[in-house]
């Protein structure tokens, strides 16, 4: 059993850089890429290459050194370029980066297949695709993203998925694919169990409080939260996170619904500590069909009861193990909330939660990924049997 990060042999990573191509920005929301790549950066240089920012001024390449080995690379390109021109510019940018940073040996790590057109000239020793979401189902997804993903599956040496449901959906698309559901930093979120002081912008909000943190977008069940907030004006909803891809005016606008904006990863335990119930109020639609919300185990590690809509990767395993309330509508939400608010003792429930989460950590996930990568490097993907199912429960 892997007990800590040091127990995994990482010698094969030394002197090999990691070039990551992402549709997410490093500083947007601290999530799966941040957790994993921060750990890789303890053993090799990591270049996290973001999508370009379009500007009116001079084209530049912004490189921010987050730690000794982690570089966040953001190309700044001129407005008005067509898609072909953008891809050619980005190709030159990456070639320039490799030359400037003296990158000699490297792996390519993809979070988006839309990076393929400007990375075709690269010659990595290994291609890794961390398929954390079904991007084609998201609002404003590029029309050719499904075709691009097929190309990335053909190019990749190894594929990881962000949960069990998306693994089941993708497992026949690649011969060397592994499921890695959301993990947690238990110590970080466990702080919420002991924090007594409210952040200033939350301190004035009355109880009971129902909290949520994350991106508020097309996945958010606006109708359900609207109905509950309207039916229960004395219950207060604390919503943390940026609003993207949807009109903020469409969100519930009541005195008991509080939008506090985005918060840093370090701040989250302080906010969660002041909630009575944590929520995962996602709509059931194409964009949520294969998601595996990282916040599920994070809420639980913080010691908070959780009410969630029936997201498949929340129902199994959390709902099926009696750790999370699964609700289908506003009435069921209210019923579950009343049950939780009436509870006086939660020690036995927290003990059950802690036992369930005992084997879950980002260190463990990263360690197993490293083992899979090392096996792929040493064995060669041609020796792996096509269609072999590989699930990794960590």
Q: What token pair was written down for 6?
A: 């040091």
Q: What token pair was written down for 287?
A: 């964009």
Structural contact between residues 264 and 241, judged by C-beta atoms closer than 8 angstroms = no
In sequence order, the β-bridge partners of residue 277 are 210
Q: What is the DSSP string of 12-62?
A: GGTT-EEEEE-SS-TTTS--HHHHHHHHHTTTS-EEEEPPPEEESS--EEE
In sequence order, the β-bridge partners of residue 307 are 279, 325
Buried-state track 105-114, b at ≥16 Cβ within 10 A, e below 16: ebbbbbbbbb
* pLDDT digit string, tens, across residues 310-335: 999 999 999 999 999 999 999 999 99
Neighbours of 178 (CB within 10 A): 19
Residue 317 sits at φ, ψ, to 5 deg, of -105, -10
Q: How far is CA 347 from the centre of its chain?
A: 29
What confidence score (pLDDT) does residue 135 get? 72
DSSP 306: E
Mean predicted lDDT score pLDDT of the chain:
91
Residue 283 has pLDDT above 90, yes or no: yes
Confidence tier at 28 by pLDDT (50, 70, 90): confident
Residue 376 has pLDDT above 50, yes or no: yes
Residue 375 has pLDDT above 60, yes or no: yes
Residue ranges of domains in the chain, CATH in brackets:
5-183+362-383 (3.40.50.2000), 186-357 (3.40.50.2000)
* pLDDT digit string, tens, across residues 223-265: 999 999 999 999 999 999 999 989 999 999 999 999 999 999 9
Q: What token pair was written down for 246?
A: 């949807």
What confidence score (pLDDT) does residue 141 get? 67
Q: How far is CA 183 from CA 273, 292, 325, in A?
A: 20, 10, 20
In sequence order, the β-bridge partners of residue 72 are 48, 64
Q: What token pair was written down for 148?
A: 């691009």
CB burial class (10 A; 0-12, 13-18, 19+) of residue 329?
middle
Structural contact between residues 20 and 37, judged by C-beta atoms closer than 8 angstroms = yes
* pLDDT digit string, tens, across residues 139-163: 666 778 889 999 999 999 999 999 9
In sequence order, the β-bridge partners of residue 101 are none
CA distance 70 to 51: 17
CA distance 179 to 235: 38
Residue 38 has pLDDT above 70, yes or no: yes
Which has more pLDDT, 390 or 173?
173
Q: What token pair was written down for 41?
A: 């950066």
Residue 382 has pLDDT above 60, yes or no: no
Edge-to-edge strands, sheet with 277-280: 257-261, 236-240, 209-213, 277-280, 306-308, 325-326
3-state secondary structure of 108: strand
What confidence score (pLDDT) does residue 212 get? 98
Confidence tier at 10 by pLDDT (50, 70, 90): confident
CA distance 370 to 141: 30
Q: What token pair was written down for 307?
A: 């009410």
Neighbours of 125 (CB within 10 A): 11
């Amino acid at each position: 059993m892997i007990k800590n990060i040091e127990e995994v042999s990482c010698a094969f990573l030394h002197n090999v850089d990691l070039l990551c191509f992402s549709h997410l920005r490093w500083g947007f929301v601290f999530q799966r890429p941040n957790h994993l790549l921060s750990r890789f950066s303890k053993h090799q240089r990591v270049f996290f290459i973001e999508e370009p920012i379009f500007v009116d001024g001079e084209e530049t390449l912004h490189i921010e050194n987050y730690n000794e080995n982690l570089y966040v690379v953001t190309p700044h390109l001129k407005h008005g370029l067509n898609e072909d021109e953008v891809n050619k510019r980005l190709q030159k940018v990456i070639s320039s980066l490799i030359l400037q940073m003296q990158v000699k040996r490297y792996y390519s790590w993809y979070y988006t297949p839309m990076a393929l057109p400007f990375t075709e000239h690269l010659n990595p020793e290994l291609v890794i695709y961390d398929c954390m979401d079904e991007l084609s189902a998201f609002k404003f997804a590029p029309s050719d993203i499904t075709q691009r993903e097929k190309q990335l599956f053909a190019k990749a040496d190894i594929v990881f998925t962000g949960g069990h449901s998306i693994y089941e959906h993708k497992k026949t698309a690649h011969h060397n694919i592994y499921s890695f559901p959301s993990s947690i930093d238990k110590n970080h979120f466990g702080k919420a169990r002991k924090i007594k002081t409210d952040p200033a912008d939350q301190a004035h909000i009355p109880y009971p409080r129902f909290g949520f943190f994350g991106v508020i977008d097309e996945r958010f069940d606006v109708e359900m939260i609207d109905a509950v907030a309207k039916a229960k004006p004395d219950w207060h909803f604390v919503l943390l996170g940026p609003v993207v891809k949807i009109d903020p005016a469409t969100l519930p606008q009541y005195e008991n619904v509080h939008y506090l904006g985005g918060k840093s990863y370090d701040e989250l335990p302080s906010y969660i500590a002041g909630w009575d119930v944590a929520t995962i109020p996602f709509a059931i639609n194409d964009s949520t069909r294969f998601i595996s919300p990282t916040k599920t185990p994070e809420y639980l590690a913080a010691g908070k009861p959780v009410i969630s809509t029936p997201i498949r990767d929340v129902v199994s395993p959390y709902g099926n193990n009696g750790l999370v309330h699964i609700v289908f509508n506003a009435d069921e939400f209210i019923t579950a909330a009343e049950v939780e608010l009436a509870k006086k003792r939660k020690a036995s429930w927290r003990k059950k939660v802690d036992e369930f989460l005992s084997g879950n950590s980002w260190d463990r996930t990263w360690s197993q990924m490293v083992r899979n990568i090392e096996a792929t490097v040493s064995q060669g993907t041609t020796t792996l049997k096509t269609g072999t199912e590989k699930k990794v429960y960590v």
